[in-house]
Structure 1
């Protein structure tokens, strides 16, 4: 699977707040929170599903991977999405390990594993 997704009975607002706290504890910041529903409705499009996209970054980690390979910038910042489906809030992300495979760089593969594990932990703490 190219993604990791968990679900919770929390509302999207509750899950978003808790996720942001967990990310902050692990030194990831939410650079941008994009409300897809709000933006599409603002543009006159009929979209009624709650859907948030968080762009998250740890500056130290970003500096390290960019110093190793500038192409990593194509995958930054990391994205985490929140959406509702069948009365559940889902939290998911594309796996950094899947993106970095495209670069065929063993050093970056190890770093991607570490970052992915940290983000998975943040997501798991959010739903537990």
Structure 2
């Protein structure tokens, strides 16, 4: 299975454990030059703050420094849309599946209307797609 791209996301579904999906996603992003700057465990946060139970749901703030630098040089406000969020979450409809979803970088171009960001968004999209597609080649 390969990625699916919608207006907002590049995504795929894995049939594996949540922890394995997180580990594989981190490795795949790293191979494409992305570091993880932030990590938000939505499940733990909502449980601790609101007493709300939900499925495993982790937001990874992924950054490729050369791409971020190029984007910020074009539009200083682009930092509002950085880093690229990647979500690893258990499918609430099918407990054996884990969804991996990355923000579609083309959203940056759409939101800002800045055509100079197109080449940055295209390269980021290519790298995120490669990372997500590689998740299916990884077996553990």
Asked whether the 8 Å contact 1:7–1:127 carries over to 2, the reply is no
Residue of structure 1 equivalent to 2:108: 99
User: What SS is found at the alignment partner of 1:81?
Assistant: strand
**Partner secondary structure for residue 55 of structure 2:** coil
CA RMSD of aligned residues (A): 1.3
Q: Is residue 109–residue 115 contact of structure 2 (8 Å, CA) maintained in 1?
A: no
TM-score by length of 1: 0.92
Is 1:11 aligned to residue 17 of structure 2?
A: yes
Give the Cα separation in 2 of the matches to 1:34 and 1:127.
24
Q: Which residue of 1 aligns with 2:35?
A: 29
**1:127 Cα offset (Å):** 2.8
What does 1:75-94 align with in structure 2 at a 5 Å threshold?
75-85=81-91, 86=94, 87-94=96-103
Match of 2:59 among 53, 56, 67: 53
Which protein is richer in helix relative to its size?
A: 1
Q: How many residues align?
A: 128
* TM superposition score normalised by structure 2: 0.85
Range 92-101 or range 79-88, more displaced: 92-101
Q: What SS does the aligned partner of 1:21 have?
A: helix
- Unpaired runs of at least 5, structure 1: none
User: What stretches of structure 1 move > 6 A for 4+ residues in a row?
Assistant: none
Q: What is the DSSP-based 3-state SS (H/G/I as helix, E as strand, rest coil) of the residue aligned with 1:80?
A: strand
